[in-house]
Amino acid sequence: MYEHRYRENKQHGVRDFPFDIYKVKHQSDTSIILPLHWHNEMEIIYLAKGTAIFKVEGREFSAQAGDAVIVHPGEHHSGIKDHSRETCYYSIVFKLSWLSSLQHDRIQEQFLGPIQQGDIRLPAYLSATGPNAQILDYFRQLVNGYESRLPAYELSVKGLMLQLFAEFFQHGLVVKSAEGKTNQGREMHQQIKLVLNYMEEHCHEKLDLDALASVVSLSRSHFCKFFKTQTGMRPMEYLNYIRVNKAAHLLLTGSYNVLEAALECGFQNVSYFAKWFKVYMNMSPSAYKAQHTSYT
């Protein structure tokens, strides 16, 4: 599990190769497999094992092993397990500009440019049992090529990405962008951004439902319903997830013991911290610290 941030500002890949693939596995006792977040890169989520429900800008996609979900830059997305079983997915994250050529050519003008400008969109969901299932083989090739790191794998990966985009156009899967959100949709979008940003910035403080609800001027009951609808998680559940991930990061530095990391991230009780840490990391804080310390 990689470090979570609502507004992900980490660099994916490296400056001269802005492409990365993350393998994310979750055991059967974890329901949230991808907390709500967004970033400026495009992302392809390829589900390799299990079943899950992915949510992108309010649209839900029930995915089975072999299916894929495509997330455009700036879109809110999250995921939960559909059944109590292990899941594994690959998150393919890249900058659209990386596919462009230095020279403004027909490829840029007719295909890549309109996607970058938001005029057209790639399909949001591809099913392994659908009529265009053969396209999903590109995702498997991308994962294999990237993990093998053979000489010149960068050329293979970029070539596969361009072939993949060509397949989308050749099979008529690219569509014109729909009208923007309704006024109500835009307002809810801004409200959840306010709350989640507030949680990120103040998670080390003592927060309760009243404090969180006041950020968007809602009653406790309305706020809880609103938050669960938007994120798929209860407010305090999401807050604990943020805190656990921040605490895990502190433990990795080697400068904090378990108690210090818990207190620094807003937990008032080390037993309560240990309980939630095991829920999200599938091990105790001390085991996590010992395991990762042994790698350094």
What pLDDT sits at residue 35?
A: 84
Of 66-80, 98-112, 155-169, the least confident: 98-112
pLDDT in tens, 239-296: 998 999 899 989 988 899 999 999 999 999 999 999 999 888 888 999 988 886 655 5
At 16, the pLDDT band (50, 70, 90 cuts) reads: confident
What pLDDT sits at residue 178?
A: 72
Burial class (CB in 10 A: 0-12, 13-18, 19+), 105: exposed
Taking residues 221-250, what's their average pLDDT? 90
Return the exposure string of 80-92: e unless at least 16 CB atoms fall within 10 Å of the residue's CB, then b.
Answer: bbbeeeebebbbb
Cβ count near 147 (within 10 Å):
12
Among 176, 204, 236, give the residue marking a domain's end: 176
- If asked whether residues 29 and 122 sit together in one domain, one would say yes
Taking the C-alpha atoms of residue 72 and residue 108, their distance in angstroms, rounded to an integer, is 18
Judge whether residue 3 has pLDDT over 60.
no
10 part of a folded domain = no
pTM of the model: 0.73
Judge whether residue 175 has pLDDT over 60.
yes
At 84, the pLDDT band (50, 70, 90 cuts) reads: low
What pLDDT sits at residue 38?
A: 82
Among 146, 176, 206, give the residue marking a domain's end: 176
Output 280 or 79, whichever has higher pLDDT. 79
Length of the chain: 296
**HSE (CB half, 13 Å, CA atoms) of 100?**
16
Q: Which of 256, 230, 246 shows the shortest CA–CA distance to 281?
A: 246
CATH code at position 67: 2.60.120.280
Most confidently predicted of 180-184, 216-220, 290-294: 216-220
Taking residues 101-105, what's their average pLDDT? 78
- If asked whether residues 196 and 171 sit together in one domain, one would say no
Judge whether residue 101 has pLDDT over 60.
yes
Contact predicate 51/65, CB 8 Å: yes
- If asked whether residues 190 and 152 sit together in one domain, one would say no
What pLDDT sits at residue 32?
A: 80
Among 176, 197, 228, give the residue marking a domain's end: 176
Residue with tokens 């991930």: 245
